[in-house]
Amino acid sequence: MQQNKSQKTALVAEVAAKAKESKALVFANFKGVSVKDITALRRSLRETGSSWQVLKKTLLSRALGEVGVKVDARGLDGQIGVAFSSDEVAAAKTIADFLKANKESTLSIVGGSLGSEALSVEAVKALAKLPSRDELRAQLVGTLQAPVSGFVRTLSGNLAGLVRVLGAVRDSKGV
């Protein structure tokens, strides 16, 4: 469908606003990917608070330029879809998980950005391997809780030992 200039301007403004709100962007070549697979990917991204949008490289490049993201979308290979993520790793992790689950898929990561800085394919894949914010919080809580739990177990062990000794003394005196 042909878009007129005002529609393109509105689309660029919308994409620029999404890019500005996002902490990370992941660019993927979706050429040859079925509609069913793209729909599944969109659903997975939505569950993590991310979104997926397909648009022409020139419009994407213009929108990214407006918000200071240092990525030239015109230089990316294939038909480009962009995942917008409010979390630094959510979109990268979701797309990487999708690729693991759908090994026959032709979807491929072609780049990304973290804040305003461009990321290579390798950097996006490394980002996908990092734990999510919720996983980091769980690790922090576990780390903070471990000394307290150990202390409680030690105290309860000492008290249980004392009770057993007192019980043995009582039994030996025949009380």
Q: Decide if pLDDT at 156 tops 60.
A: yes
d(CA 84, CA 18): 7
Q: Decide if pLDDT at 43 tops 90.
A: yes
Query: Given this model, what pLDDT does residue 25 score?
Result: 92
Per-residue pLDDT band for 27 (boundaries 50, 70, 90) equals very high
Q: Which two tokens stand for residue 119?
A: 């990321």
CB neighbours of 79 closer than 8 A, spacing ≥ 6?
29, 30, 31, 54
Burial of residue 73 (number of CB atoms within 10 Å: 0-12, 13-18, 19+): buried
Query: Which amino acid, one-letter code, is at 25?
Result: L
d(CA 150, CA 106): 50
- What integer best gives the mean pLDDT of the chain? 86
CB neighbours of 99 closer than 8 A, spacing ≥ 6?
105, 107, 108, 109
Query: Which amino acid, one-letter code, is at 116?
Result: S
pLDDT digits 0-9 by tens, 114-154: 888 888 889 888 888 887 777 778 877 878 777 777 777 77
Query: Given this model, what pLDDT does residue 82 score?
Result: 92
Q: What is the DSSP letter of 3?
A: -
How much is the pTM?
0.73
- Ranked by mean pLDDT, the top range of 30-44, 136-150, 158-172 is 30-44
d(CA 83, CA 22): 9
